[in-house]
Amino acid sequence: MKKSKLAKVSLVLTLALLFGSVATAETGNGIDEIVAGMSLRDKLTQMMFFCPRTWKEDPESEEPAENIRTLNDIVRQYIADRRFGGILLYAENCGDAEQLVRLVADMQAANAEGGGLPMFIAADEEGGNVSRLTFGTKGVGAMALTATGNPENARAEGKMHGEELELVGINTDFAPVMDINNNAANPVIGVRSFGDEAATVSEYGCAFLAGLHDTNTIASLKHFPGHGNTDTDSHTGLPLVNSTREDLLANELIPFRAAIDAGADMVMTAHIQFPNVETQTYTSITTGEEVYIPATMSRVIMTDILRGELGFDGVIVSDALEMSSIWDNYAMDDVLSMTINAGVNLLIMPSVKQSDDIQKIDAMIDRAVALCENGTIDVALVDDSVRRILALKQKRGILDMSGFTVTYEQVAAAVNGCGSAEHRQLAWDNACKALTLLKNENNAFPMKVEAGEKTLVLFTASTRAGAAAIAQQILEGMNALPEGVTLEAMTIEPDTAEACVEAAKTADHVLLVSRAWDASCLDPATENGFPVGVVNQVIDDLHAAGKPAIVISAQLPYDAACFPEADAILLAYCSSVTRDVLPATGEGSAYVPNLPAAICAALGVVQPQGKLPVSLPAVDEEYHLTDAVLYERQIG
């Protein structure tokens, strides 16, 4: 929230509550004086992101936890007492625009009442399928933006996200992703990346960054020094990358350097082992095996490379410390001491999901204080971190915020601005511009649907099947559907596969929608890849009946290699869970437009304009990705 939208009280009063007679920079003293007046505990909590996601009063109760969308008395008082540097919001916190405006204001007010400095309020709003707001405009995702062929589209979407975040009081976006997706089997980055080579990621990532900066939103580059070459998800495991320092400087670090030179304020770390860069080992507390210190805890990577080689002078934030890569391998004391001593300035603390998690956070705070007092954590680095944090808050106007009374005008602006017609049109236009017709033999694309003909849309993921109804509504609104035509959706699952095959035989037209989210989705021998075999069977049946087969790749484009006999393949690059009706406003109203746009394109209403932003590898006989390139990159 900007001070122009809120009733103001003096910042001096806020600081006085916490620091007694310490003056602000406005009265002649600066950040050093503020830091000098802070207690050690307040310095450490200023270095922490508090993550209140859900709440269950009795951890032993079988009742489900409730999403934290309003502050209960316990959480409100906790925020007031601990005076954290920031709060990280998740989808659990986001209902609708008015609710979120009030929640954010309540959090800031509770913190101010306890004497805290105004906080970073952050969210992972990358666009596409990584979007925390359940309303508003999700956008199309990074890889789709690159497929449009124009970095100005990335800047426009960055600005769009920044505008909607600002309207609800979120001042920090953990985006853009500057990882190069140079491993097609990467299970966690994929379409979150702008591409698979350094120049493209640099160009489009910096454009998205500029869009966020157009709205004064703090952007955080992630995940340093690069998460694109992993075959393990750091949320669930501890990835290892064998790149040398020279390898990183010649490739993965190029986009980060470009974005740092473009004025990035914040960089997020990666929980990844780089044994050829950081050689220090550690005995895993879970397995007893020797592992390496991850980038997050490495002074070589955080200070020597990020600060030294790349010249970054802003704020370094850890990725979430509760991720399995950290929590399952390293003791809490070592996580705290090594991360701070490595040069990381902000720590994303474990999420609060029930009442006893607050005690766990307090235990971490207590241990951090003790580790500083016994010299294990370098207090000079703590002071340096707090200075950097306050300098960034001052730069972006956060320190000037106060008086967190929500006004009618503010609520109206958020409700009307989040998911505005202008923003939704921008996202739709970019989704259409990104659609890439990878293959079109025998003029199979688009479908030639006549009045009354049965049109079947087969999905490989039930969570995406609602896109057919959304596309139907869009087509009807455009008067683009022949009379009597309905898009009938079915999902290929083990117990429905036979029915899907039979339905395809009787349909006049069949559209096949594949959604791959990792390499296991490509292999028909796996549970996740089972639908691939069914899709290929349907393709054979269609050809036997003299009908064309069109495949839409709804997410990772690498599944294109699995359907060599398809007549046409259209790439959409992103999808998300979709309802079976077009949402209006309110909770759950946001949807990713890529897949509905692709379905509309298959019926001839939208003209695909996109270019392939990554090279697509071939698969071998066992459907494993190979080094052979099946389709060459068209951008970069």
The two structure tokens encoding residue 591? 């949807």
Q: Are 37 and 22 in contact (CB under 8 A)?
A: yes
Cα 391–396–398 angle (5° rounding)?
A: 85
One of 42, 124, 179, 319 is an active-site residue; which one?
Answer: 319
Distance of CA 497 to the CA centre of its chain: 33
3-state secondary structure of 416: helix
d(CA 401, CA 421) in angstroms, rounded, equals 30
Contacts of residue 212, defined as CB under 8 A and 6 or more positions apart, other chains included, come to: 158, 159, 161, 162, 173, 175, 176, 218, 219
DSSP string across 228-293: TT-SS-TTTS--B----HHHHHHTTHHHHHHHHHTT--EEEE---B-TTT---EEE-TTT--EEEP
Q: Are 126 and 176 in contact (CB under 8 A)?
A: yes
Asked about 319 being catalytic, the answer comes back as yes
DSSP string across 467-498: HHHHHHHHHHHTT-SPTT--EEEEE--TTTHH
Q: For residue 514, give Cα distances in angstroms to 185, 195, 504, 529, 573.
A: 17, 20, 15, 10, 11
- Strand ranges (E), 96-238: 120-123, 125-127, 130-131, 172-173, 218-224
Distance of CA 429 to the CA centre of its chain: 21
List the beta bridge partners of residue 436. Answer: 571
d(CA 418, CA 161) in angstroms, rounded, equals 9
d(CA 119, CA 121) in angstroms, rounded, equals 6
d(CA 474, CA 545) in angstroms, rounded, equals 30
List the beta bridge partners of residue 297. Answer: none
Omega before residue 583 within 30° of 0, cis: no
One of 81, 106, 233, 235 is an active-site residue; which one?
Answer: 235
Contacts of residue 216, defined as CB under 8 A and 6 or more positions apart, other chains included, come to: 162, 166, 171, 396, 397
Contacts of residue 304, defined as CB under 8 A and 6 or more positions apart, other chains included, come to: none
3-state secondary structure of 126: strand
* Nearest partner of 327 among 64, 174, 192, 318, judged by Cα: 318
**For 223, which DSSP code?**
E
**For 309, which DSSP code?**
I
Omega before residue 223 within 30° of 0, cis: yes
| Residue with the two structure tokens 């096949």 | 512
* Nearest partner of 519 among 229, 281, 183, judged by Cα: 183
* Nearest partner of 65 among 78, 54, 50, judged by Cα: 54
Q: Are 457 and 599 in contact (CB under 8 A)?
A: yes
Question: Catalytic residues, which ones?
Answer: 235, 319
